[in-house]
């Protein structure tokens, strides 16, 4: 585990997390939302994460655990860790405050609404502000395991980590819009809206730091195998629970599927060329 790999893993995780700030900036700079592009992009992101999870990450986890515990023990360990990763992110989804659904699709056209229209939609300005803050908290907590997933993948296999970082970054852009719009209309302050959006994305590098500090002293082939299988479960859950439903909501069903297939194809090609 060399210093270069650790620095690269942190850097990729930081870039993926900060893309929430890109989403917030787009909300204030763009004139209209390109929903077709967002639908394709989020489908693409899901395709990358699903393909790499099943074809690369979980296979590496199984091979590592099988070498440590034998065929039966390794396969059972892989399956249990995979579904444990899914269970962890599902519990986070269940427990985090859901104020007006932080994963609901938002568009920059909402900025053309008046403050009165926004306040009527959310009943009052204090509720609107609360919606933005809860959305930021919810997204920050969701981003924590995503940061761990990106960091772990990049640490072990940089090419896979880069692909996952890009997929997570695409996924974070609409989340930045979701945080910034309600806070802007509650406060009238673009800087504050951008700050909270930016801050929610920092949970990803924090997840990487915590993972590094907690796990590195105990790192072994068995821990790596279990962690990698758990990362696969996290990414598959995120794809099916967040990315694909959002892609459907932003655009047409076929655009979402075309993006999904394109993501799988690009990931397959990159694995053939770079691994």
Determine the pLDDT at residue 264. Answer: 95
| Stronger pLDDT, 54 or 26, i.e. the higher one | 54
Are 165 and 219 spatial neighbours (Cβ–Cβ below 8 Å)?
no
* Residue 80: Cβ-neighbour burial (10 angstroms; 0-12, 13-18, 19+): middle
**Span 75-99, mean pLDDT?**
85
**In this structure, what token pair is assigned to residue 16?**
């993926």
Asked whether residue 121 carries a pLDDT value surpassing 50, the answer given is: no
Domain boundaries, the chain: 3-274
Supply 109's token pair.
């056209």
More confident call, 16 vs 74: 74
Mean pLDDT of the 231-244 span: 88
Residue 21's nearest CA partner among 274, 142, 233, 202 is 202
Q: What is the mean pLDDT of residues 191-196?
A: 84
For residue 19, pLDDT beyond 90: no
Q: Of the spans 8-17, 141-150, 187-196, 208-217, which averages the highest pLDDT?
A: 8-17
Residues 121 and 204 sit within 8 Å (Cβ to Cβ): no
Q: Who has greater pLDDT, 73 or 223?
A: 73
pTM over 0.85: no
| Phi and psi angles of residue 33, each rounded to the nearest 5 degrees, phi first | -90, 125
Q: How much is the pLDDT for 66?
A: 97
* Band of residue 253 on the pLDDT scale cut at 50, 70, 90: confident
CB 215 within 8 A of CB 226: no
Averaged pLDDT score across all residues of the chain: 80
> Averaged over 72-96, what is the pLDDT?
91
pLDDT in tens, 48-77: 889 989 998 899 899 999 999 999 999 999
């Amino acid at each position: 585990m060399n210093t270069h790999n650790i620095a690269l893993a942190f850097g990729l995780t930081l870039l993926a997390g900060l893309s929430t700030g890109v989403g917030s900036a787009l909300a204030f700079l763009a004139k209209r939302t390109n929903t077709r592009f967002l639908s394709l992009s989020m489908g693409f992101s899901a395709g990358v994460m699903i393909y790499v999870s099943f074809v690369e990450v979980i296979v590496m986890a199984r091979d590592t655990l099988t070498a440590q515990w034998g065929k039966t023990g390794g396969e059972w360990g892989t399956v249990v860790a995979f579904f444990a990763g899914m269970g962890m992110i599902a519990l986070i989804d269940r427990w985090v405050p859901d104020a007006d659904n932080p994963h609901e699709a938002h568009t920059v056209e909402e900025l053309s609404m008046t403050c009165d229209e926004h306040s009527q939609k959310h009943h009052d300005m204090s509720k609107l502000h609360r919606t933005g803050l809860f959305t930021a908290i919810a997204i920050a907590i969701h981003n924590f395991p995503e940061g761990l997933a990106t960091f772990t993948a990049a640490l072990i296999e940089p090419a896979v980590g880069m692909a996952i970082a890009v997929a997570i970054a695409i996924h974070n852009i609409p989340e930045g819009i979701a945080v910034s719009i309600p806070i802007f209309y509650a406060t009238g302050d673009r800087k504050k809206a951008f700050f909270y959006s930016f801050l929610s994305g920092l949970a990803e590098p924090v997840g990487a730091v915590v993972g590094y500090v907690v796990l590195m002293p105990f790192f072994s082939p068995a821990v790596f195998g279990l962690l990698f299988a758990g990362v696969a479960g996290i990414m598959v859950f995120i794809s099916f629970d967040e990315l694909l439903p959002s892609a459907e909501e932003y655009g047409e069903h076929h655009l979402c599927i075309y993006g999904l297939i394109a993501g799988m194809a690009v990931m397959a090609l990159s694995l053939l060329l770079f691994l």
